Amino acid sequence: MKVQNLSLLTPRECEVLKLMAQGLSNGEIATELFISRHTVKNHVSSIYRKLGENDRTRVALLAVGEKLVNTD
C-alpha cells in the first residue's frame, strides 16, 4: 500500500475513508453521507483498489497515519 495513492482518491472516497477510519460500518457511512449502502460499498471497493489493499483496518490505519482523521 502506497501513501501517494491517497492522491488518487476522489473527494467522496476520502470522506468514506475518513468515516471508515472512525470505525463506522458501511450502513452507518451511508446514513452519515445520505447515500445508499450499495454506493458506499462501491466507494470502499474503489478505495481498496486504488490503495492496493483489501483490509479495512489497514486502510483505516493509513488514514489515521496520514492525519486524515482526528484521533483526539
Measured CA to CA, the distance from residue 3 to residue 18 in angstroms comes to 15
Measured CA to CA, the distance from residue 56 to residue 34 in angstroms comes to 21
Q: Which pTM value belongs to this model?
A: 0.90
With a cut of 90, say whether residue 3 has pLDDT above it. Answer: no
From residue 32, alpha-carbon distances to 3, 7, 11, 23, 69 in Å are 26, 23, 15, 13, 16
With a cut of 60, say whether residue 1 has pLDDT above it. Answer: no
Q: If one looks up domain 3-65 in CATH, what number appears?
A: 1.10.10.10
Q: Which residue's entry shows cell 472512525?
A: 22
Each residue's pLDDT tens digit, 53-63? 999 999 999 88
